[in-house]
Amino acid sequence: MSPSMVGMSFLVLGIILLLGKWIRVITPNLQKLFIPSSLIGGFLALILGPQVLGNLVEGLEYENTAFSILAGGIFPEDMLAIWASLPGLFINIIFATLFLGKKLPGIREIWNIAGPQVSFGQTVAWGQYVFGILVTFLILTPYFGINPIAGALIEIGFEGGHGTAAGMASTFAEAGFPEGADLSIGLATVGLLFSVILGILLLNYGVRTGKSSILKVPDEISLKKSEQAGVVDFDARECAGKITTRPESIEPLSMHFAYVGVAIGIGYIILQILQLIEELAWGRTTGIHLLEHMPLFPLAMIGGIILEMFLDRFDTYKTLDRNLMMRIQGLSLDILIVSAIATLSLEAIGGNLAPFLILSIVGIFWNVAAFLLLAPRMIPSYWFERGMGDFGQSMGMTASGLLLMKIADPENRSPALESFGYKQLMFEPVVGGGLFTATSVPLIFNFGPVPVLIFTAVVMLFWSGLGLLYFGRK
């Protein structure tokens, strides 16, 4: 595979992202649904690739005509192969940047402010495992013959999102369930779409029934035309980040990218140490290797936390800027989503269509039910505004949660945004792409679904009990 093809692959991805943006700008319905441009671009690339356009041309049998060159889609095979490898790489960048440049408060401060949302968010995440494993164990495996590992797909796809789903492709393959990667990416796409669609419906429901403490009339649920189009007004535009180093010394963006590399490197070293400990402690005697199948990205996040703690103490010049780090994260996420959807295997989803639909319905039903039934009983104040953030994240990704919170509380009058940010510090390291998410597939592979079901049910009951009996009574 030539270096020029690698470069061309990124250039074409940039064009696809731009086309996705302009499609969103000129399509009011996509704006009203707040569909991300990366998602639109990913579907555009999927349609123009071999699985849709290519199969269509082959089905119409346009031999010996100008259309015959489109039999494999408009993208070369080498380009598709490069795109297929990008999600597994860029997810490490995304997780490494999660806490870089973010001031890390004390555990007590996090607990006092975000404790209710930690309890609710953890309940929803562990519940996705419980109901996913249950429906797989009782229905999908006996009647459809699907691998029991499918029980982890709802949490990986919904709570983890496209990045986690794509980052675990090698783990699925090593566990003998390679189609799990495509199914989880498909579930992540379903979750992202329905997070916004159902979120808007729930916002209207909350306003009409008086559950919202901020919005009082349905007409308030709106954004300006430029905001719907995803464009910042000219007079309201801000700098993307602070220039922390002089460019003649080192370009600030290069400096921040280097920090990301250090964080990923720390995570890689931790992973190698853990795998060595596992091999020496029990791997040789039992033959059970959980960490052998563990992806790098959750430990890249730990590496980012370690690096942030080090810089916070020893970097007297404060050379790390959070906004610049967020721009690196955003770029990586856009590339990941476009490339993941563009190379999504429709054959894998089509071959497991019934299990895919059942998992989608179960995941959506649990998230909506948890928001309506548990959030008001676990979050003592501003439950609707604070719960909307957790609902958006549990269905799609963090950006979905932030979007729904912005609509529910446009002037940030509630503690929703602050508590949501603090909650991430006690949430992301474990689930939603954290350590347990990464080990859930090896756990089911090595021990079977029943022990994992029992464990996740106990943890879910712990967090729900804490939310209902402690925070809910405040």
Please state, in angstroms and rounded to a whole number, the distance separating the CA atoms of residues 413 and 417.
9
pLDDT at 110 over 90: no
Residue 258 lies in a domain: no
Range of lowest pLDDT (54-63, 160-169, 203-212, 341-350)? 54-63
Average pLDDT over residues 56-67: 64
- List the domain range (segments joined by +) for residue 48: 1-75
Work out the average pLDDT over 345-351: 89
pLDDT band at 238 (very low <50, low <70, confident <90, very high): confident
Q: Is the pLDDT of residue 423 over 90?
A: no
**Cα angle vertex 428, ends 295, 20, to 5°?**
80
Residue 66 pLDDT greater than 60, yes or no:
no
**Helix orientation angle between 398-408 and 179-208, rounded to the nearest 10 degrees:** 10
Least confident among 207-216, 359-368, 428-437, 451-460: 207-216
Instruction: Output helix, strand, coil percentages for the chain, rounded to the nearest 5.
Output: 75, 0, 25
More confident residue, 152 or 420: 152
253 within a domain of the structure (yes/no): no
Query: Is the pLDDT assigned to residue 262 strictly greater than 80?
Result: yes
What's the rounded Cα separation, in Å, for the pair 456 and 229?
41
Average pLDDT, whole number, for the chain? 88
Name the pLDDT band for 436 (thresholds 50, 70, 90). very high
Going by pLDDT thresholds of 50, 70 and 90, the confidence category of residue 72 is confident
How far apart (Å, rounded) are the C-alpha atoms in residues 321 and 252?
9
19 belongs to a structural domain: yes
Residue 16 lies in a domain: yes
pLDDT of residue 305: 92
pLDDT score at 228? 65
| For residues 273-280, average pLDDT | 90
Predicted local distance difference test score (pLDDT) of residue 422: 81
Task: Determine the average pLDDT of the residues in 258-269.
Answer: 97
| Per-residue pLDDT at 309 exceeds 80 | yes
Phi-psi group of 19: left, alpha or beta (phi > 0 → left; psi -120 to 50 → alpha; rest → beta): alpha
Copy the structure tokens of residue 310: 């080090």
Number of domains forming the structure of the chain? 1
Encoding tokens for residue 291?
């960490």
DSSP secondary structure code for residue 158 in this structure: I
Q: For residue 125, what pLDDT is reported?
A: 95
What's the CA gap between 245 and 248, in Å, rounded? 9
Instruction: Please name the helix (run of DSSP H) or strand (run of DSSP E) that holds residue 421, with its range, or none.
Output: helix 416-425
pLDDT the model gives residue 400: 78
Query: Tokens representing 90?
Result: 């860029």
Q: Which amino acid is at 297?
A: F
Indicate whether 403 belongs to any domain.
Answer: no
d(CA 76, CA 62): 19
- In the prediction, which pLDDT does 224 show? 65
DSSP 289-344: -SGGG--SHHHHHHHHHHHHHHHHHH-TT----HHHHHHHHHHHHHHHHHHHHHT-
13 in a structural domain: yes
pTM of the entire predicted model: 0.86
Share of the chain above pLDDT 70, in %: 94
User: pLDDT grade, residue 105 (50/70/90)?
Assistant: confident
Confidence of residue 69 (pLDDT cuts 50, 70, 90): low
Q: What's the average model confidence in pLDDT over 324-331?
A: 91
Is 150 in a helix, a strand, or coil? helix
327-364 CB burial, b ≥16 within 10 A, e <16: ebbeebbbbbbbbbbbbbbeebbeebeebbebbbebbb
Q: Residue 411 has what pLDDT?
A: 74
Lowest mean pLDDT among 15-19, 64-68, 99-103, 281-285: 64-68
Over range 221-233, report the average pLDDT. Answer: 65
Q: 157 or 415: which carries more pLDDT confidence? A: 157
Closest CA to 324 of 270, 244, 394: 244
Cα–Cα distance measured from residue 399 to residue 401, given in angstroms and rounded to the nearest whole number: 5
State the pLDDT confidence band at 33, using cuts at 50, 70 and 90: confident
Residue with tokens 């054959």: 347
Structure confidence at residue 61 (pLDDT): 63
Taking 70 as the threshold, does the pLDDT of residue 221 lie above it? no
Torsion of CA 433, 265, 328, 314, to 10 degrees: 110
Q: How far apart are CA 200 and CA 360, in angstroms?
A: 19
* Mean pLDDT of the region 446-464: 96
Residue 119 has pLDDT above 90, yes or no: yes
Residue that is written with structure tokens 């123009």 in the block:
48
Pick the more confident residue, 148 or 218: 148
Distance CA 354, CA 169 (A): 21
